[in-house]
Structures are given as C-alpha cells and as structure tokens.
Amino acid sequence: MSSARRPTARAPRRTTGLPAPLVPLAALALLFLGLPVLGLVVRTPWTTLVDVLTRRESLDALRLSLVCASLATVLCIALGVPLAWVLARGDFPGRGVLRALVTVPLVLPPVVGGVALFTAFGRRGVVGRPLDEWFGITLPFTTTAVVVAEAFVAMPFLVIAVEGALRGADRRYDEAAATLGASRWYTFRRVTLPLVAPGVAAGAVLCWARALGEFGATITFAGNFPGTTRTMPVEVYLTLQRDPPAAVALSLVLLLVSVAVLAGLRDRWLTSAR
C-alpha cells in the first residue's frame, strides 16, 4: 500500500474529529428535543403540584398506567420472544412477509390500531363476537382492553430488539450445547436466552415505555373511564381541556416516571449484563 510508505514528516491530518457543519445541526436537534421537556419543567405549577398529584383521579390514572404497561410488557415478552426466535432462526418460506407483518403496528397510526382491534376483538369483531355470544366476554371498555391495546402497539418494539439480538448471537454455543446432549428446549432456556438477555431487556424497556405512553389505540379501543381505562396519557389529554396547569403537572409525573425507570433499568440490567 502506498500510504504506508509515505514519509511521516508531515503530521497526519486528524480525521476522527467532528465534521464542522454537523455541530450546529446537532446542537439544533438537541435544542429541539430538549426545549419542550424544559418547558414542561418551567411551566410546572410547583405550588399546587402536590394537590394535583394526590388527587384521587391522578393516583388512579398513574396506578392504572403502571399496572397496564407492566402487564402489557409481560404479555409482550411471553409471546414476543418466541416470535422473535421464529423470525431469527426459523427457516421457512414467507419469513420476510411475516417480519413485515410484525412491524405493521409500529408504522400504523395508533388510532387505526384501535379501530383494527375493534374489528378483531369488538363485540362485532371476528373473534369478539363468538367470545361475546358463547362466553359473554366483551373486551372493549375494560382494563383488559387497555392491556391488549398497549401490547398490540408495543410488541413489535420487543420483537425487533430480540430478533436483532438473536441474529447477532453466536450460534456455535447452541451447537456445542446440542453436541453435549442438551435438548432444544434446554438449549433455548439455558444457552440462547441468557446470551440474548441484554437484547430482551432493551426490548422490554422500550416496550414498557411505549405501552406507558400509549394513547390513540387505548382511547379508541378501551375508551375512557376513571379507574378502569383512564390511563395517564388520557388523563393528561382531558385535564388539558379543563385545567391546563394541572395537565402540565401530570405530564411532569409521567416524564419523571419514564426517565426514572429507563435510567434505573439501564444501570441494573443493560450495563451490568454486558
């Protein structure tokens, strides 16, 4: 190579620094992302904050949001990890189509997701009608509907994260385990899954955060009733019409909860697992 023989008298040009034109744009992006959050903090009515947050409806909405987002995440892990495994390791025709289908809820406007859920699980839905007629079970406007709506919107986040992790994982460990006589199920539990644990954790965190913020599909499919289906985002949306400062206070709580959980999980799982 010619460059290797070049005399070293001239100092090598620095090529690792930031290209100058990117810096102001990056600063602008940072400002754009940070200012609304800063605005929320600045406009928070600190004097009435405690009053707003200890209201029964605020606490109900917060509790409901945390419970539903967590349940939705559990559901997503239980069903999403196997799906990710099929997508990453399965060898069958139409896998690309299947993967595209999985990502549909990701690009679908959430309200459309809510309407789609009606067509499937509503009282007149494909699955909902027999459920109602045979067992008397109706999903819409129940807390279960909130979990279903959140899981529908959030599951692709987990599936994509876990699938990526599975593709990146070294399959030779699985093969070694098989050579040593481990069954496929045992290998999956004791070798594959621990290997991709950081990917599952990252996916679960994203999934949980998405579920926590879910608004469109929830208000469409699950409706809005205090205590059973009114989650924090819906509470914030309705409060904004009646009492804007209180809506800002509620938003701040949601912001703090999200940031706290993301930060906490990052420290505990993501970094130490690496």
Specify the residue, 71 or 114, whose C-beta has the smaller distance to other proteins: 114
Specify the residue, 6 or 34, whose C-beta has the smaller distance to other proteins: 34
Asked if residue 80 binds other proteins (CB under 8 A), the reply is no
What is the x/- site pattern for other proteins, positions 128-147, by CB under 8 A? Answer: ----------x-xx------
Find the shortest distance in angstroms from Cβ 2 to other proteins: 31
Q: Give, as ranges, the residues between 228 and 257 that touch other proteins (CB under 8 A).
A: 229-230, 233, 237-238, 240-242, 244
SS (H, E, C) the chain: CHHHHCCCCCCCCCCCCCCCCHHHHHHHHHHHHHHHHHHHHHHCCHHHHHHHHCCHHHHHHHHHHHHHHHHHHHHHHHHHHHHHHHHHHCCCCCHHHHHHHHCHHHHCCHHHHHHHHHHHHCCCCCCHHHHHHHHCCCCCCCHHHHHHHHHHHHHHHHHHHHHHHHHHCCHHHHHHHHHCCCCHHHHHHHHHHHHCHHHHHHHHHHHHHHHHHCCHHHHHHHCCCCCCCCCHHHHHHHHHHHCHHHHHHHHHHHHHHHHHHHHHHHHHHHHCCC
Q: Give, as ranges, the residues between 161 and 220 that touch other proteins (CB under 8 A).
A: 161-165, 167-170, 195-196, 198-199, 202-203, 206, 210, 213, 215-217, 219
Specify the residue, 178 or 240, whose C-beta has the smaller distance to other proteins: 240
What distance, in Å, lies between the first and last C-alpha atoms of the chain? 37
**Stretch of 42-50, 55-63, 122-130, 249-257 contacting other proteins, by CB under 8 A:** 122-130
Find the shortest distance in angstroms from Cβ 3 to other proteins: 27
Specify the residue, 5 or 274, whose C-beta has the smaller distance to other proteins: 274
Question: Which residue, among 138, 105, 142, has the nearest Cα to 122 in the 3D structure?
Answer: 138
Phi and psi for 7 in degrees, rounded to 5?
-65, 150
Find the shortest distance in angstroms from Cβ 25 to other proteins: 16
Q: Are 73 and 211 in contact (CB under 8 A)?
A: yes
Find the shortest distance in angstroms from Cβ 194 to other proteins: 10
Asked if residue 151 binds other proteins (CB under 8 A), the reply is no
Asked if residue 269 binds other proteins (CB under 8 A), the reply is no
Question: Which residue, among 147, 149, 127, has the nearest Cα to 137 in the 3D structure?
Answer: 127
User: Residues touching other proteins: how many (CB under 8 A)?
Assistant: 54
**Stretch of 15-23, 93-101, 160-168, 251-259 contacting other proteins, by CB under 8 A:** 160-168
Positions in the binding site for other proteins (CB under 8 A) = 103, 106-111, 118, 122-124, 138, 140-141, 156-157, 160-165, 167-170, 195-196, 198-199, 202-203, 206, 210, 213, 215-217, 219, 222-226, 229-230, 233, 237-238, 240-242, 244, 274
